[in-house]
Structure 1
Amino acid sequence: MSNWKTAYRSFYYENAEEPDDLSLPPEETALLVIDIQNTYLEEPDDKTEAARWQPFFERMNGTVIPNTIALTDWARKAGIEVIFARIACQTDNGRDRSLSQKKPGFNYLLLPKDRADSQIVPELAPQADEITVLKTTDSALTGTNLRLTLHNMGIKNVIVAGIFTDQCISSTVRSLADESFNVVVVENCCAAATADLHHRELEIINMIYCHVVQSDDVFATCPPTR
Structure 2
Amino acid sequence: MNIAADPYPFDFVPERCALLIIDMQRDFLEPGGFGEMLGNDVSQLRRAIEPNVKLLAAWRAAKLRVIHTREGHLPDLTDLHAAKKNRGSHAMRIGDEGPMGRILVRGERGHDIIPELYPQGEEPVVDKPGKGAFHATDLHDLLKHQGIRQLVVTGVTTEVCVSTTVREANDRGYDCLIVEDCVASYFPEFHKWSLEMTKAQGGIFGWVSESRHLLAALEKWSARSDANAGSAGNVMMNQKGGTTPIC
Higher Cα radius of gyration: 2
Relative contact order, CA 8 A, sep 6+: which one is greater?
1
TM-score (norm 1): 0.83
- 1:78 and 2:66 correspond: no
Give, in whole Å, the separation in 1 of the partners of 2:5 and 2:172: 23
Task: Provide the residue aligned with 2:86 in structure 1.
Answer: 103
CA contact (8 A) 1:102 1:108 kept: yes
| Change in CA separation of 1:26 and 1:177 when aligned onto 2, cut-off 3 Å | same
Q: 1:152 to 1:195 in 2, by over 3 A?
A: same
Other-structure match for 2:212: 216
| Corresponding residue to 1:53 among 17, 20, 40 | 40
Find the partner of 2:73 among 89, 105, 108.
89
Q: Is the 8 A contact 2:158 2:194 kept in 1?
A: yes
In the alignment, structure 2 segments of 5+ residues that lack a partner are 96-103, 227-247
1:200, CA displacement in angstroms? 0.9
Match of 2:129 among 132, 136, 152: 136
- Per the alignment, residue 67 of structure 1 pairs with 51
Amino acid at match of 1:145: D
Where structure 1 has 5 or more consecutive residues not aligned to the other structure, the ranges are: 7-18
Q: Which residue of 2 aligns with 1:32?
A: 20
Cα separation, 1, equivalents of 2:211 and 2:67: 17
- Measured in 2, the distance between the counterparts of 1:73 and 1:105 equals 35
Q: 2: CA distance between counterparts of 1:178 and 1:201?
A: 17
- The answer for the alignment partner of 2:194 in structure 1 is 201
Q: Distance in 1 between matches of 2:205 and 2:67?
A: 20
Distance 1:100-1:212 versus aligned 2 partners, 3 A rule? farther
Partners of 1:101 and 1:108 within 8 A in 2: no
Amino acid at match of 1:34: I
Identity of aligned residues (%): 28
| RMSD across aligned positions (CA) | 2.3
User: Aligned residue pairs: how many?
Assistant: 205
Q: Distance in 2 between matches of 1:51 and 1:79?
A: 38
5 Å matches for 1:141-160? 141-160=134-153
Q: 1:16 — aligned with what?
A: none
Deviation at 1:155, TM superposition (A): 0.4
Distance in 2 (alpha carbons) for counterparts of 1:100 and 1:160: 26
Does the 8 Å contact 1:89/1:97 carry over to 2? yes
